[in-house]
Amino acid sequence: MINVLWMYPDILNLHGERANAKAFEVIGKKLGLKVKIDRLDDLDEKVEFDKYDILLFNAGQLKEIEVLSNVLKNQINDLKKYIKDKKIIFVTGTTGALFSNNIQRLDGTSFKGLNIFDADIKEREYVLGDDLYFGFKKMKIVGPQIQMIDIDIKDEKPFGKVIYGYGNNGKGDEGIIKNNVIFTNTLGPVLVKNPWLLEYLFDLVIKNKKLKVKKKKIKYDLEKKSLESCEAFINKKLENK
């Protein structure tokens, strides 16, 4: 059994990311895996880190990130142990700030994140919206990026290499990967659009838990055609640059 905890679904909910939680169910079923998804709705409820293999943090607003940071700091040692045990955390969008160090807001105030990543965040004055297309291992990952923050990842390892788009700060790096904490700026239903990334997350759990399961093969025909459409659209933009 693979246990997924969908973190604060109503609070971290900006761009249709509830579909990422649904993707765990849909793709898990197609792969023949037993997947259980729980919700953690209440900020006052403690996270039972021992029970879960994957924590899903979807995109949220900086305003809420500050509140979440204060909530999760109460369990920071448990969280660090979870990460040290190579369990998986998947984070999208501005919620990357939650796992960073210092967050500088536009109004001059700042707050501290959970400092899992040694990265600093600066709120942007203008929204940046574009496609984000990047490579991770042999995978191609695509999705929209609505960037409200710039990210200085210092010496942290980027999650992917940008093929097209802004990524962390327009310099070619996309997201962060540390142990099995994966952060991507790609928003929306990124796991629906890129189910191969979700399968990679499942593989990490299978390896960690030494699960004896035989996954079914999926061709992902529709998703591959969707990726091709997006690639063609992006290539056209690159040609016109």
Partner 1 sequence: MRKIWFFIVLLGTKFGLLLCKLFHKQGSMIAGKTAIFFQKDFVKYFTNIDYNKVFFVTGTNGKSTTTNLLYHTLKTSGKNIASNVEGANMMSGVATTLIKNSNIFGKFNKEFLVLEIDERSLRNIFKVLPAKNLCISNLQKDQVQRNGDPDFIYQMFKNSLNKDVTLYVNNEEVRSRSLEDYVNKSIYFSLERNSKTFEKHDFYDVTCPCPKCSHKIEYEYYNIENIGKFKCSHCGYKSNTKVDTLITDVDFDNKSFKEGKDTYKVKYANPFMMYNYALVISVCKRFNIDANTIEEGFLSFINPADRRETYFYHGKTIRYLRMKQENPETLQNALDTIARDKNKKAVYMGLYEIKDFKPAYNNTFYFFDCDFKKIVETDVEQYVCFSKTASYETANRMLYAGVDNKKLKVYDVEDDFDLIFEDIDKLKSETIYIITGMKPYHKIKAFFNKEGENND
- Judged by CB under 8 A, which stretch of 47-55, 113-121, 171-179, 218-226 contacts partner 1? 218-226
Taking the least distance from each CB to partner 1, the nearer of 64 and 156 is 64
State phi, psi for 230 to the nearest 5 degrees. -65, -40
Q: Which of residues 157-186 bind partner 1 (CB under 8 A)?
A: none
Cα distances (angstroms) measured from residue 81 to each of 4, 27, 35, 110, 211: 17, 28, 23, 27, 21
Q: Are 104 and 191 in contact (CB under 8 A)?
A: no
Q: Which of residues 106-145 bind partner 1 (CB under 8 A)?
A: 127, 129-131, 144
Contact between 187 and partner 1 by CB under 8 A: the answer reads yes
Contact between 31 and partner 1 by CB under 8 A: the answer reads no
- Strand pairing of 102-104 and 120-136? parallel
- Alpha-helix runs per DSSP H in the chain: 18-30, 62-73, 76-84, 190-193, 195-209, 221-239
In whole angstroms, give the CA distance from residue 138 to residue 136.
Answer: 6
Among 192, 197, 198, 205, binds partner 1 (CB under 8 A): 192
Among 210, 212, 222, 239, binds partner 1 (CB under 8 A): 222
- Judged by CB under 8 A, which stretch of 41-49, 95-103, 153-161, 174-182 contacts partner 1? 41-49
Write b or e for each residue in 209-223: b if 16 or more Cβ atoms lie within 10 A of its Cβ, otherwise e: eeeeeeeeeeebeeb
Contact between 29 and partner 1 by CB under 8 A: the answer reads no
**Both tokens assigned to 59:** 């995109």
Q: Catalog residues that contact partner 1 under the rule CB under 8 A.
A: 8-11, 13-19, 21-22, 26, 37, 39, 41-44, 60-64, 67-68, 94, 127, 129-131, 144, 146, 148, 187-189, 192-193, 222-223, 225-226, 229-230, 232-233, 237
